[in-house]
Structure 1
Amino acid sequence: MKSTLYLCLLLLGLHVQGHHEPSHNNEQEEQKRVHSPGDRRQAEGENLAHLKIAPSNADFAFRFYKQVAAEAGDKNIFFSPLSLSAAFAMLSLGARAATRQQLHKALAFNLTEIQEWEVHEGFQRLLQLLNDPHREVQLSMGNALFVDDQLKLLKKFVDDVTNFYDSEAISSNFQNASEAKKEINDYIEMKTHGMFVNLLKSLDPYTVMVLVNYIFFKGYWEQPFSSLLTSDDDFFMDAKKSVKVKMMHRNEAYNTYRDEKLSCWVVEIPYKGNVAALFVLPDEGTMKQVEAALLKETVSNWAKSLNNRQIYLHLPKFSISGSYDVKHLFQEMGVTEVFSDQADLSGMTENTRLKVSKAIHKAKVDVNENGTEAAAVTVVEITATSLQLPPPPVIRFNRPFLMLIFDKAASSIIFIGKIVNPAASEE
């Protein structure tokens, strides 16, 4: 890869469970009211819809990071919280009762503070912003539903996922598992520009639907690093282990902040097209305290405190990936019902009981002198100034650090990573 690519795949396997009891009439009426179009707001309000869900998406991003970090040990971390949020928010359109409540809670949506239609219109606006073809950055996000040709979905569910999430509905023959798997894999490979080939290894024999969300990002630094200055260097994974890396070097003015309370440096490196990467370098031995403080309030404070100053920057080239069992991670976060026989996904279909059997997320990132290429797929298988200027600080990313990629136009965190070993081979 020649820049950063991230793919988030959520595979939601829907299992047939038998006949489904019809939903309560009052809840059906609520759904009609919640999602019905109308004169609820002016066009200006619609254009700002994504800002209403930004705090919840940030809360979810850091909650999920901490859940992953608790189990990752000394492994690299890289995922797209936005891909996960979008995939499960889309799934919630078909969820009812406690199943829906658990999903909303996990995604950090408090429906006493935000109405459900605002959640989905927020994602609708996010998709419009991210997929704007006139931007300098190459960024795309989308969704697809692969549906067994014998499964009849409710028209309202299809209309809602199409309207809010611009989802394609693709009829598939899941009785021919190999054919269906190839169709899904080909779609993912195409949408992620070849980043993920044959991602889906198998399909449960009871699968009747697969939900896919993908994000692809390819960004070029506003000021690229010179490859002539890249040199071999040591990266210290911990006090005892080090690896050789290709270290990029630049003497330039960057938005920088020294957080003395958390003992870390924060450096913002902008891409062309209103996207930026935030690199966080904890002092030796302070990674855990920085991770513990990783909240939207902390990151917001970093962003407000950034100050443009000259620095000597040393940043390694790296190419890493992450693969996650989202079903397990969500269960640890309290989302249990949607994966059980008690799942209520009656907003999808009237006559067939469904549950999520599998949810996986795969992400890759590549950072080099020109920029970053990243992709993610979520697949849900259903089933200060001084007179005497001091010398510029040297900020050397030669020990574990964090990376966040922000889309400023969409006010969204697209990717989060923790680089423990830049030389690690991809999973």
Structure 2
Amino acid sequence: MKLISALYLCLLLLGLQVQGQQQVQQVPGPEEQSQADHENLPHVKLAPSNADFAFKLYKQIRDESGNRNIFFSPLSISTAFAMLTLGARSNTLRELQKGLGFNLTQMEEQQIHEGFQRILQLLNDPHREDQLNMGNALFIDNQVELLQNFLDRVTNFYYAEPVSSNFQNLPQAIKEINTYVETKTHGKIVDLVKSLDSETVMILINYIFFRGFWERPFDSLITKDDDFFLDAKNSVKVKMMHQNDDFKVHRDEKLSCWVVEMPYKGNVTALFVLPDKDTMKQVEDALLKETVSNWLRALEEREIYLDLPKFSISGSYDVKSLFKKMGVTEVFSDQADLSGVAKVLLKVSKAIHKATVDVRENGTEAAAVTMLGIQFLSAPLTPPPRITFNSPFLMMIIDKTTDGLLFLGKIVNPTAKED
């Protein structure tokens, strides 16, 4: 059965049926009613906004990264800033909502937060086959008292863990935060915070950790050294994994790329997108939720020879800088209105994001953390095709339960280490 997620489907409108001289509203059958109810769930209605934000942010990162690897968790970043909107007011709130892609004509603020609440519940379901954990924490200086309404809502909707900290002792506070992050990401992200401004009074953290095993693992005995072409003239040696099996694939002739779906055991899947020579930018420019929707609908199971490199990459991003270029500026300025957070005047002084992924024969491990520092103001072929990911390609990790784009990346050089 093809993967057609609610993220990419429009609402079906029920028409009116004319019977004789009377116009009677058609009564939906159980299936239609069930689909309509599903489409109206807050987390389903939120999914298109989160997808729009993900691809918009990707293009901003792409424009700044040059010819380097990209890997980040759009869901982690949007969740962190969505928490902050609970305490933002006036133009600061409007800028954040617009930057995050929230459509208030289709969803009320309450529904947005209910959507994130349901995403957290589904991602942290202990009965999942894959290991997927997402959570939030607030490290709060003991000299700042949060407004009860903000604290109630951030713990209710986002299950945020309030942690009392002493930011007068910055080395100790940094150690506490880094230990928390390292523990929650199972050691994948260490030393997230290098330094903090002396005016910092609160740190907002979102973390996400994923460990999944391929439905069809690669045989490590046939992994061998091969060339990965960085460009027309340069290449590096990589450990190339091989499979000859049936996969859901799609050849997009318009964008000149192959799309291969590799599902994990459970309800998470990976999409690998391999552009033809010199068409990466064309594919990146077309990255929209509608494009991914079309790919997912067009996937067909067929036999292929698949070659995929083992790789382990990570990325660190200054989200404050990225958001400013996307038009979200006030929350970082002395004009910030976070009056719904505490009685004191606050602004976001630092926003950083770090993510890492490790792809190997048996599956994938990926983790990401978003930290906000808050301070006072001052086409089919006869033989099976061979799809060889031996040149720059894109990777998406999608949770089918929530239609969430958990991770998004571009692998330019599988052997490159983080800058």
TM-score (norm 1): 0.88
Count of matched residue pairs: 380
Q: Which residue of 2 is the match for residue 153 of structure 1?
A: 146
Q: Alignment partner for residue 359 of structure 2, among 354, 362, 367?
A: 367
Q: Which residue of 2 is the match for residue 94 of structure 1?
A: 87
Letter in structure 2 aligned against 1:224: P
Tell whether 2:401 aligns with 1:409.
yes
Contact map agreement 2:39 2:45 (CA 8 A) in 1: no
The within-5 A match list for 1:342-421 is 342-350=335-343, 352-383=344-375, 390-421=382-413
Letter in structure 2 aligned against 1:54: A
1:164-223 deviation line (CA, Å, top 9, x unaligned): 000001111111111111111111011001112221111110000000000000000001
SS at match of 2:200: coil
Contact map agreement 1:46 1:125 (CA 8 A) in 2: no
Q: Which residue of 2 is the match for residue 27 of structure 1?
A: none
Return closer, same or farther for 1:46/1:262 CA change in 2, 3 Å cut-off: closer
The within-5 A match list for 1:27-426 is 48-350=41-343, 352-383=344-375, 390-426=382-418
In structure 1, list runs of 5 or more residues that go unmatched.
Answer: 1-43
Return closer, same or farther for 1:46/1:211 CA change in 2, 3 Å cut-off: farther
Instruction: State how far apart, in whole Å, the 2-side matches of 1:129 and 1:46 are.
Output: 16
Q: Which residue of 1 is the match for residue 14 of structure 2?
A: none
Letter in structure 1 aligned against 2:206: N
Contact map agreement 1:123 1:165 (CA 8 A) in 2: yes
Instruction: State how far apart, in whole Å, the 2-side matches of 1:426 and 1:318 are.
Output: 12
In structure 2, list runs of 5 or more residues that go unmatched.
Answer: 1-36
Letter in structure 2 aligned against 1:159: D
Q: RMSD in angstroms over aligned alpha carbons?
A: 1.3
SS at match of 1:357: strand
Instruction: Tell me the CA shift for residue 426 of structure 1.
Output: 3.4
Contact map agreement 1:47 1:125 (CA 8 A) in 2: no
How many percent identity over aligned positions? 69
Return closer, same or farther for 1:74/1:154 CA change in 2, 3 Å cut-off: same
Instruction: Tell me the CA shift for residue 48 of structure 1.
Output: 2.7
Instruction: State how far apart, in whole Å, the 2-side matches of 1:320 and 1:45 are.
Output: 36
Instruction: State how far apart, in whole Å, the 1-side matches of 2:41 and 2:386 are.
Output: 39
Contact map agreement 2:255 2:282 (CA 8 A) in 1: yes
Instruction: State how far apart, in whole Å, the 2-side matches of 1:239 and 1:262 are.
Output: 20
Instruction: State how far apart, in whole Å, the 2-side matches of 1:92 and 1:144 are.
Output: 15
TM-score (norm 2): 0.89
SS at match of 1:208: strand
